[in-house]
Amino acid sequence: MTFSATLSPGQRLRDLLAEPGILICPGIYDGFSARLVESMGFKTAAISGAGLSEANLGWADVGIMGYEENLRASSALAACTSIPLSADGDTGYGNAMNVYFTVQGFERAGIACLMIEDQVWPKRCGHMEGKQVISAEEGVEKIQAAVEARRDPGFVIKARTDATAVHGVGEAIRRLNLYAEAGADLLFTDALLSAEDIAAVARNVSKPLSVNMGFGIRQRPTTPLLSARQLEDMGVKAVSYPRMLTSAAIQGMKNALGVLTQSIDENRVIDRPDLLVPFDELNTLMGLPRIKELERKFVRTRPGGAR
Q: Where is average pLDDT lowest: 35-39, 231-235, 301-305?
A: 301-305
**Claim to verify: residue 171 and residue 256 sit in the same structural domain:** no
**Claim to verify: residue 199 and residue 66 sit in the same structural domain:** yes
- Residue 1 domain-assigned (yes or no): no
CA atoms in the 13 A half-sphere facing the CB of 285:
17
> What is the CATH number for 58?
3.20.20.60
- pLDDT class of 2 with cuts at 50, 70, 90: very low
For the segment 5-25, the average pLDDT, to the nearest whole number, is 95
Which of 225, 248, 271 is where one domain is finished? 248
Could you tell me where the DSSP H helices lie in the chain? 9-18, 31-39, 49-52, 67-79, 96-108, 136-149, 163-167, 169-181, 195-204, 228-234, 244-266, 279-285, 288-298
The per-residue pLDDT for 144 is 98
**Claim to verify: residue 282 and residue 197 sit in the same structural domain:** no
Mean pLDDT for all residues in the chain: 94
Q: How far apart are CA 180 and CA 170, in angstroms?
A: 15
pLDDT digits (tens, 9 = 90+) for 29-41: 999 999 999 999 9
CB distance 199 to 171 below 8 Å = no
The per-residue pLDDT for 302 is 74
**Claim to verify: residue 139 and residue 258 sit in the same structural domain:** no
Number of helices and strands in the chain (H, E): 13, 8
pLDDT digits (tens, 9 = 90+) for 97-130: 999 999 999 999 999 999 999 999 888 776 677 7
- Residue 80 domain-assigned (yes or no): yes
Q: Specify the number of domains making up the chain.
A: 2
Residue 121 vs residue 234, higher pLDDT: 234
Q: How far apart are CA 150 and CA 278, in angstroms?
A: 43
- pLDDT class of 3 with cuts at 50, 70, 90: very low
Residue 238: strand pairing partners: 23, 210
**Claim to verify: residue 187 and residue 270 sit in the same structural domain:** no
- pLDDT class of 131 with cuts at 50, 70, 90: confident
CB distance 52 to 76 below 8 Å = no
The per-residue pLDDT for 94 is 96
**Claim to verify: residue 290 and residue 242 sit in the same structural domain:** no
pLDDT digits (tens, 9 = 90+) for 156-195: 999 999 999 899 999 999 999 999 999 999 999 988 999 9
The per-residue pLDDT for 217 is 65
**φ, ψ for residue 300 (rounded to 5)?**
-105, -15
pTM of the model: 0.93
**Claim to verify: residue 241 and residue 254 sit in the same structural domain:** no
The per-residue pLDDT for 221 is 56
- Residue 233 domain-assigned (yes or no): yes
274 burial via Cβ count (<10 Å: 0-12, 13-18, 19+): exposed
**Claim to verify: residue 280 and residue 213 sit in the same structural domain:** no
Q: Which range of residues forms the domain containing residue 291?
A: 250-298
Does residue 222 have a pLDDT over 90? no
For the chain, the residue count is 307
- Residue 4 domain-assigned (yes or no): no
- Residue 306 domain-assigned (yes or no): no
**Claim to verify: residue 38 and residue 162 sit in the same structural domain:** yes
**Claim to verify: residue 93 and residue 225 sit in the same structural domain:** yes
The per-residue pLDDT for 36 is 98
CA atoms in the 13 A half-sphere facing the CB of 224:
11
**Claim to verify: residue 93 and residue 34 sit in the same structural domain:** yes
- Residue 304 domain-assigned (yes or no): no
Q: How far apart are CA 35 and CA 165, in angstroms?
A: 34
- Residue 23 domain-assigned (yes or no): yes
For the segment 41-45, the average pLDDT, to the nearest whole number, is 98
**Claim to verify: residue 211 and residue 290 sit in the same structural domain:** no
